[in-house]
Amino acid sequence: MRRKRPIYAETYLNRRRWLLLGLLGGVIVMLLAGGWWWAQRNPRPSAKRYPVMGVRLDQTSDYLDADQLRAGGVSFVYLKATQGASFRDDHFATNYQRATGLTVGVSHYFSFDSTPQQQAANLIATVGANSGTLPIGIEVAYYDQYADSPPPAARVQSALRQLIALVEAHYHQGVVLLGTPQALKTVQNVAPARPRWVISTKRPKQATFWEYATAKLPQGHSQQQFESAVYTGSRQEFATLQ
């Protein structure tokens, strides 16, 4: 004759099953919360080693709030002005005027589809006299179809040299080349004495600026995320860039 299980045995198993499911759910929630926190945090490099922090802004960001940035530990800001031969950042002029109390730099996104002369003309027409006090940034990135099929390195280097010469001749102001380690390696022989802005989650071996994350500021209460960077030298050395 088959032995009957006590009624309470089934109840115990159900309770145990729900307890295990509850514990598993709790662990999943904690992992998700931890992942969200990790994604939102600003992994700012040592403030003692890198005392000067900055951010980059373009029209995809909110309008610049200088008080918010300073409260968040920001000392300098780079504002995107142009891209290629025709694109102009809609927020540039307003953000430039709002950057009170911050050291300002402007930047241009280099294009493989237009001439250096066209790009320089677009930058100069957009920026005018509002070129900031930091070296003018020129960002090099392999966008769209060029990510899989880059243009010849020699052609990129030649065009970039021409653009740098045109910009420096007009503004009598140095430039800084921005990009990932891979992109900057392609143009490492272009203006080698000019500073580099390296975009990498890992600390670069050599860089004047290191863009380490896109995240909230390490201080303050803003939920906005910024492309955050540090100057790799001292405050005194940073002052000589201006």
62-97: pLDDT as tens digits: 899 999 999 999 999 999 999 999 999 999 999 999
Residues 6+ apart with CB under 8 A from 35: none
Which residue's structure tokens are 């610049």?
64
Please name every residue paired with 225 in a beta bridge, in sequence order, or none if there are none: none
Burial class (CB in 10 A: 0-12, 13-18, 19+), 127: buried
Domain-by-domain residue ranges, the chain? 1-40, 45-240
- The rounded distance, in Å, linking the Cα atoms of 102 and 82 is 21
Contact 225, 216 (CB under 8 A): yes
165-218: pLDDT as tens digits: 999 999 999 999 999 999 999 999 999 999 999 999 999 999 999 999 999 999
Q: Is the pTM of this model over 0.85?
A: no
Return the half-sphere exposure (C-beta side, CA atoms, 13 A cut-off) of residue 129: 0
Contact 192, 15 (CB under 8 A): no
123-144: pLDDT as tens digits: 999 999 999 999 999 999 999 9
Report the percent of the chain where pLDDT is more than 70.
83
Amino acid at 39: A
Q: Is domain 45-240 annotated with CATH 3.90.228.20?
A: no
Angle at 136 (CA atoms; ends 235, 236), nearest 5 degrees: 10
pLDDT of residue 204: 97
